[in-house]
Amino acid sequence: MDTAERLAAIEEIRQARAKYWRGVDACDGELVKSVLAKDCVLEYFGCCTDPQSGVDYLPAMNVALRGRDQWLSDGMARFGIVSVHQGNQSEITVTSATTAEGVWAFTDRMWFPPGGEFRHLVGWGHYHETYVVEDGAWKIATTRISRIRVQVE
């Protein structure tokens, strides 16, 4: 793989990650599924746990989805949750013509319906991922979230 091919792969991976976050925030399950590998493994264990306090603010989110068909079309909207994800500072390494790995710094914000324990959650952390070429396009194969901080109000 030459430099131009490697850079093109990195850009396609960046586009896939951006579509994932847009799909999550827009509750567009088909968009999310379009960038997931058929047999993807998405691990969200501890995704809303603040490592400073040890408090897990959303234990129901501690799941692993195996296969893109497990992604639910309406996402968090069914619970009345609105989310906004901002990803940046990607570190992507192309490991072969059909595989890559990456780490993304991100911030996410979630607003919850009235009457719950809290109304707003803000988290900072990293997505740790692998990618594969499937059906001629780069797809997210695995993802795992590590947190730096989670705050609620």
Residues 99-137: tens digit of each pLDDT: 999 999 999 999 999 998 999 999 999 999 999 999 999
d(CA 54, CA 46) in angstroms, rounded, equals 10
Beta bridge partners of 131: 100, 140
Q: Residue 96 is part of which domain span?
A: 3-152
What pLDDT, on a 0 to 100 scale, did the predictor assign at position 73?
A: 77
d(CA 109, CA 121) in angstroms, rounded, equals 6
Task: Beginning with the edge strand found earlier in the chain, give each strand of the sheet holding 36-43 in spatial order.
Answer: 64-66, 36-43, 137-152, 120-134, 99-111, 82-94
Q: With 90 as the cut, is the pLDDT of residue 76 above it?
A: no
Q: With 90 as the cut, is the pLDDT of residue 22 above it?
A: yes
CATH code, 144: 3.10.450.50
Report how many domains make up the chain.
1
